[in-house]
A and B are shown apart, each in its own frame.
Chain A
Amino acid sequence: MIVDCDCHNYWSSAEVLLPYLDEYHRDYFTRGEQPGPRGSFPNANRPWLHPEGFKRMDINPETQDEQYRIMKEKHLDAYNIDYAIMTGDEAMEASTIANPFYAHALVKAYNDWLIDEWLSRDSRLKGSIMIAPQAPDLAAQEIRRLGHRSDMVQVLASHGTERPYGNPFYHPIFEACAEVGLPFAIHLGGQGGINTNPIAAGPTRYFWETHALLGQSAQTHVASMIAEGVFEKWPELYFIVIECGVAWAAPILWRLDADYKALRKETPWLKMLPSEYFRRNIRFTTQPLEQPETGVEHLWSILDAMYGRETLMFASDYPHWDYDDVQKLHIPPEWRGDVLGNNAMQVYRRLQNAGVNTTAAVETA
């Protein structure tokens, strides 16, 4: 059983959203100032640009049909993926837009396009309801609008934010997630624009340097979600951290536990150690898994210290430049079944009822 928890469904131009926008926001999109060429999404706020582009260079679809066909051939079929969870791409950058109504209109249009153009094509494809977190009430509306669909398996936002996700400002989002029974996921991205700088000490200058450091904001979100009592208010809620690195988690948990023991009076609503909330409610996706020069055994001992066998879920990050091949994942061989699929099946409860689409459960250990 293989579940890919981070599979990007692209468009060739953001103009695919036009039919899904109301007239007012269609005007915004077509008449308003654009940051890039015709058809670009309003996300020119991105401060770090990859010098070679984000995509694998052997994947160059032009039409929507090709987008799907190439994903199917080079990824889903090639690796016997049972389910691939669509994480969009540019749409996540809506979180950088100051006007919350426009940001909301864009993600709403994206979600409808996702259903029509992707989820309808292949039952292995499952959706993430994209939200604009700067408008938590509107985000909650969107979660309730689509949250009962059997082909939507999580709520998704970027990890670049105006404030840490545990802040009560965002709680309407988690309330809606809990109501419809979906996990809340954050994915690397959404830096710039109205969002605070995700790199502590000020902006870095180069893409690779920055990419390696983007776990910083994820660390803040993890600590905040635990400290603000999100998992006491919604004990069933899963918080999924996508593409932010994983090996930093264990040392942060050690610190959180030790400091909490000394200062628990700050947050009397907590009933367990931070690491216990982590183990119960937080999940990490693998890609990009750290690759220690000094030997993979160092990584494995760190993964073990973050309860990796229970908390890690496979992600390929198709079709991005740092794509991970299922076969080449550096995790202990006896964990493969759990990390490649079993953990995701537990977290994405909706998949449990969907049944397995392919009969060939490939054992790659």
Chain B
Amino acid sequence: MNGQGIHACKASDVAPGQQKIVRINNMPIGIFEIGDGEYHAMLNICPHRGGQLCEGPQCGTAVNGGDFGIEYGRRNELVRCAWHGWEFDIRTGEALADPKMKAKTFEVSVHGNDLYVHM
């Protein structure tokens, strides 16, 4: 983990499926919890067209259920950009439709009820 973390918010401010957007070093950052007890941070600027990436819903998506059926999966693991709806993997920042397109992510550390983002 790089350098000194910067305080972002309280862990209790972030619930699975309900990201919190904070400003750190004057940069807008989305803090996410996807239900695995770990926290994730992502720059609120979409690499596709600069939209408000983290203001879209935290959600799952359709996964191919085989034989061209649809199943819902990956609950809370994705954020869908508020502008154009591209789906990004919250853990890696990768766009599902185009892995070359990668949102900037940061590591998060937890100390008690405090979250720190490492930039």
A and B: real partners?
A: yes
Interface residue ranges of B33-87 to A (CB < 8 Å): 49-52, 55-57, 80-85
A57 CB contact (under 8 Å) in B49, B50, B55? B55
Closest-by-CB residue of A relative to B49 is A328
Given contacts A57-B56, A57-B80, A58-B56, contact A52 B85 (CB under 8 A): yes
Closest-by-CB residue of B relative to A321 is B85
Q: Is the CB of B50 within 8 A of A58?
A: no
Instruction: Encode B77-119 as 1/0 by CB contact (under 8 A) with A.
Output: 0001111110000000000000000000000000000000000
CA distance A57 to B85 in the complex (A): 8
Q: Is the CB of A58 within 8 A of B80?
A: no
CA distance A219 to B50 in the complex (A): 32
CA distance A276 to B85 in the complex (A): 39
Is chain A's binding surface mostly helix, strand, loop or mixed? loop
Q: In the complex, what's the smallest C-beta–C-beta distance from B76 to chain A, in angstroms?
A: 16
CA distance A99 to B6 in the complex (A): 63
CA distance A324 to B51 in the complex (A): 10
Residues in B with CB closer than 8 Å to A324 are 49
Q: Is the CB of A328 within 8 A of B85?
A: no
CA distance A313 to B50 in the complex (A): 22
Given contacts A57-B55, A328-B50, contact A52 B83 (CB under 8 A): no
Given contacts A52-B80, A52-B85, A56-B82, contact A325 B49 (CB under 8 A): yes
Residues in B with CB closer than 8 Å to A58 are 51-52, 55-56, 82-83
Q: Is the CB of A321 within 8 A of B50?
A: no
Q: Is the CB of A323 within 8 A of B85?
A: no
CA distance A248 to B83 in the complex (A): 25
Q: Answer whether residue A66 sits at the interface, using C-beta atoms and an 8 A cutoff.
A: no
Residues in A with CB closer than 8 Å to B82 are 56-58
Instruction: Encode A42-57 as 1/0 by CB contact (under 8 A) with B.
Output: 0000000000100011
Closest-by-CB residue of B relative to A324 is B49
CA distance A56 to B57 in the complex (A): 11
CA distance A58 to B81 in the complex (A): 9
Give the residue among A57, A321, A324, A327 with the most B Cβ atoms within 10 A. Answer: A57
Residues in A with CB closer than 8 Å to B57 are 57
Q: In the complex, what's the smallest C-beta–C-beta distance from A60 to chain B, in angstroms?
A: 10
Residues in B with CB closer than 8 Å to A122 are none
A323 CB contact (under 8 Å) in B55, B56, B80, B83? B83
Interface residue ranges of A319-335 to B (CB < 8 Å): 321-325, 327-328
CA distance A253 to B37 in the complex (A): 58
CA distance A325 to B51 in the complex (A): 9
Residues in B with CB closer than 8 Å to A56 are 51, 82-83
CA distance A229 to B74 in the complex (A): 56
Q: In the complex, what's the smallest C-beta–C-beta distance from B101 to chain A, in angstroms?
A: 12
Q: Is the CB of A325 within 8 A of B50?
A: yes
Instruction: Encode A311-355 as 1/0 by CB contact (under 8 A) with B.
Output: 000000000011111011000000000000000000000000000
Closest-by-CB residue of B relative to A288 is B84
Q: In the complex, what's the smallest C-beta–C-beta distance from A327 to chain B, in angstroms?
A: 8
Q: Is the CB of B84 within 8 A of A321?
A: yes
Residues in B with CB closer than 8 Å to A322 are 84
**10 A-B Cβ contacts within 8 A?**
A52-B85, A56-B82, A57-B55, A58-B55, A321-B83, A321-B84, A321-B85, A323-B84, A325-B49, A327-B50
Top 8 closest pairs, chain A to chain B, by CB: A57-B82, A58-B82, A58-B55, A58-B52, A57-B56, A56-B83, A328-B49, A52-B85
